Structure 1
Amino acid sequence: MRVDGPEHAPAVVLLHGFGGSMHWWDRVTVQLADRFRVIRVDLIGHGSSAQAAAACRPDDHARAVVEVFDHLGVNRATVVGHSMGATVAIAVAEASNSVSRLVLIGEGPDASTFSLPKVTKVLRVPVLGHALRRFAPAPIVRLGYTTKAFAAGFRFETAFDDPDQLLEDDRAVAFATFRHCQLGKEAYARARPLDERLRDLALPVLVIFGAQDRMWNPRASIARYRDVPGTRIEVIDQAGHSPQIETPQEVAHLIGEYAIADT
């Protein structure tokens, strides 16, 4: 966990996606911390967080985030999530009355608008997947991200202060975490799609997609979210699946503008 910004400023909580860490928000944080209390959390089994094989469903992540709220005395916050972190953000809102607004980045309502990478199916196979994740050469790992996590041609090496950050974050995720987190997230949306959960929550929601997202179908996902009352949609033309990395200034502006309206 890391906290930046004035202690008594409005709270903005940033949740990274699968295989990431709090550092995926570094360049957004520096643009928000002058006027918000920015709270970043490494989700279970990611970054510097403890590994937990089975306990990494969205509800498990949400309980950990609510514990952070309690520890920091947060009773009102805009919660922002990218990819898997967006699903966790919804789970946090279901678990805590402290969530006043949601910002969901690069996450569709359910598997019907998702394109599961072929390699992911292989990586989930217990013995084979474990070996591949442990011994895959760095160029192969990077290739996996460049073909799905960003728009074509994006140079992610310059997107982090540490050019090896993406690789380090991927290596930090154990095989059991990799498998259980993904299966748990899918089961959560299968039980009730995210757009249905948002209708029940009845919170203001900002949905952000990169027009060049290669993991989710932005148009199909947006069509579903548009039917949820109180939802605002923003599409960033030059971004792919990870707008907070690809276009941090634009994402920070959208988050800041949206969160300040709650004060």
Structure 2
Amino acid sequence: MTAGFRAAAPREVQRGGDTTIRYTASGPADGPALVLIHGWACHRGDFDAVTRHLPEDCRVLAVDLAEHGESRSTRAVWTMEEFARDVMAVLEAESVGSAVVAGHSMGGAVAVEVGRMLPEKVSRVVALDALHYLALFPAQEEARAEKVLRVFREDFPRAVRSLVEGGTPQGTDPALTEVYTAKMSRVRQPAGLRSLEGLVRWDMDAALRETTQPITVFAIRDLTSQEAIDRYRGRFDVVLVDLGTHHFPVESPEATAKLLAEAATR
């Protein structure tokens, strides 16, 4: 797939009086819609190179979730459902009738919630190295969730580094760990910690029971356990890939675009 020029127009939509969601729109307004949702402590810019490799007839909407990237919010609720409403506001503003919704990491959880709440509008959910981590899902008992969150409350940068290292296969250039750790440690607070709390407490199994669309998970082979594949076999389709670290959309944009284009046409 050859990279081409796509004029990405910056746009925004207001949600009530406390949240402004900023996003970019590119491609023909009447083209098949693909919504891209970044991961925790990241931003829509992670998909810039991916977007350039997508088919020219595709309508691409790349969203900054609240308090990530250029979006701003003073709201008090930081659940996956509330993030999904950020995305739903963009779909409404763009008058999208049907869309494939793809999310990286935490964005995969948000994508599931968008699909759950908009069954008539979302045709497929795609998760980019998301949903298969058994350390997070299914829903954790409160004591275990608190143990995870306590580490972030006590030493946020150290906890972020540990998170990044956990998503990095052996043999990866150590410089990448430094880049991602520095980037994610700068997430706006208190929303950064609060949204992590929302992810840890998200009941994925309950959400999946109410999500009717097909779900495709593109998972890094070295980070995916057979236990996870077996547990969710039949609920979502796990496709193992060798494209880098947990942040493979940034590292392998052309290959990621090919995966998204193929998933969108299934």
TM range (shorter): 0.7 to 0.9
Higher helix share: 1
Aligned equivalent of 2:208, options 181, 191, 198: 198
Task: Give identity over the alignment, percent.
Answer: 26
Any conservation in 1 of the 2:127–2:216 contact (CA below 8 Å)? yes
Q: 5 Å matches for 1:71-150? A: 71-96=93-118, 97-108=120-131, 111-112=134-135, 121-125=149-153, 129=154, 132-133=155-156, 144=162, 147-150=165-168
1:40, CA displacement in angstroms? Answer: 0.6
Question: Which of structures 1 and 2 has the larger relative contact order (alpha carbons within 8 angstroms, sep 6+)?
Answer: 1
Q: Distance in 2 between matches of 1:223 and 1:240?
A: 22
62-71 or 24-33, which moves further after superposition? 24-33
How many residues are paired up? 238
The separation in 2 between residues aligned to 1:31 and 1:6, in whole angstroms, is: 15
Which residue number in structure 1 is paired with residue 248 of structure 2? 243
**TM, length-normalised to structure 1:** 0.77
Shift of 1:38: 0.8
Q: Deviations over 1:171-210 (max 9, x none)?
A: 1421x21221111112222xxx34x533432212111100
Query: Any conservation in 2 of the 1:108–1:221 contact (CA below 8 Å)?
Result: no
Give the SS at the match of 1:208.
strand
Q: CA deviation at 1:156?
A: 8.5
Q: Please say which of residues 9-18 and 26-35 is displaced more in the overlay.
A: 26-35
Indicate the structure with greater strand content: 2
Aligned 8 A contact 2:24 2:63 in 1: yes
**Change over 3 Å in CA distance of 1:3–1:153 after alignment to 2:** farther
Q: Could you tell me which amino acid in structure 2 is paired with residue 184 of structure 1?
A: G
Q: Counterpart in 1 of 2:231?
A: 224
5+ residue gaps in structure 1? none
The structure 1 segments of at least 4 consecutive aligned residues displaced by more than 6 Å after TM superposition are 163-166
Answer whether contact 1:212 1:239 (CA < 8 A) is retained: no
Length-normalised TM-score, structure 2: 0.76
RMSD over aligned Cα atoms = 3.2
